[in-house]
Amino acid sequence: MWWTARPMNAVIVVPCYNEARRLPGEQYLAFLRAHGEFSLLFVNDGSRDETLSVLTELAGRSERIEVLDLSQNGGKAEAVRRGVVHLGDVPDLVGFLDADLSTPLAALADFREVFLARPEVELVLGARVRLLGRRIERRQLRHLLGRAFATAASATLSLPVYDTQCGAKMWRPTATLQAVFATPFSSRWIFDVELLARYAQAFAWDTGAISARIVEVPLMQWHEVSGSRLKSSDFVQSAADLLALAWRYRVRQRH
């Protein structure tokens, strides 16, 4: 096994597409040196630049880094899913994080502490909440559009979730969550919402049962990284995908 057994070990999936010039490799290595309970699985999502070479070199510098190379680009959702399936249920915890580290690696240690303290929790979500004493750096338009979408997603899921789209999540690989990742997601843009919808469906949309198993952790720091591929027009596609998910997982099943 490429990761070693240790109390509450966690493997984080990092999807990468054309990240050769901006992957903060030294930050990843420093995090692993400071946190022996973590390992990383980088998924090269059919990159057209030198990402695979960069990742291979990085893996050569730490025994707790593995690289999964996908020959074709399938998008972030599929890259994460393939990474999760690759890991199976061996790690105590599995998670994913955006490659550009808009969410700092330190947040992962905070997530793990939740699982250590609360054995009933199965899923932890990062949340970008603007509070005094926290550094959530996001352009105002993105923030407003994001809040509008989050409100719509919460209504669709009938769950008081604050931030579905934060690119940092961690969970126990229970049978339920393994099933969530067993088949491809229908949406490339808002698979985070579909992830929660599949999970909620497994509990027959019992809000009490679901809320007892999911915790949102407000991030101490988050920042937009220059060069982000997300455009304002993508929010339109996200809204269309949300309507499709609402039909697939809520409306259609009532009839």
pTM of the entire predicted model: 0.91
Residue 7 is which amino acid?
A: P
Is 91 a member of any domain? yes
Is 180 a member of any domain? yes
pLDDT band at 253 (very low <50, low <70, confident <90, very high): low
d(CA 187, CA 240): 10
pLDDT band at 189 (very low <50, low <70, confident <90, very high): confident
Question: SS3 for 222?
Answer: strand
Question: SS3 for 45?
Answer: strand
Which pair of structure tokens corresponds to residue 231?
């455009």
Is 193 a member of any domain? yes
Lowest mean pLDDT among 27-41, 62-76, 157-171, 241-255: 241-255
d(CA 64, CA 41): 8
Q: Answer whether residue 1 shows pLDDT above 60.
A: no
Question: SS3 for 12?
Answer: strand
Is 210 a member of any domain? yes
d(CA 28, CA 20): 14
Is 3 a member of any domain? no
Q: Answer whether residue 44 shows pLDDT above 60.
A: yes
Q: What is the DSSP string of 104-143?
A: -THHHHHHHHHHHH-TT--EEEEE----TT-EEE--HHHH
Is 5 a member of any domain? no
Pairing of β 123-127 and β 214-218: parallel
Asked whether the beta carbons of 23 and 54 are under 8 A apart, the reply is yes
pLDDT of residue 148: 87
Structural domain boundaries, residue 77? 10-254
Choice between 104 and 156, residue whose per-residue pLDDT is larger: 104
Q: State the total domains in the chain.
A: 1
Is 4 a member of any domain? no
CATH number, residue 49: 3.90.550.10
Average pLDDT, the chain: 91
Packing angle of the helix pair 234-246, 140-157 (nearest 10 deg): 10
* Residue 252 CB-density burial (10 A; 0-12 exposed, 13-18 middle, 19+ buried): exposed
Q: Answer whether residue 255 shows pLDDT above 50.
A: no
pLDDT band at 231 (very low <50, low <70, confident <90, very high): low
* Residue 24 CB-density burial (10 A; 0-12 exposed, 13-18 middle, 19+ buried): middle
Is 99 a member of any domain? yes
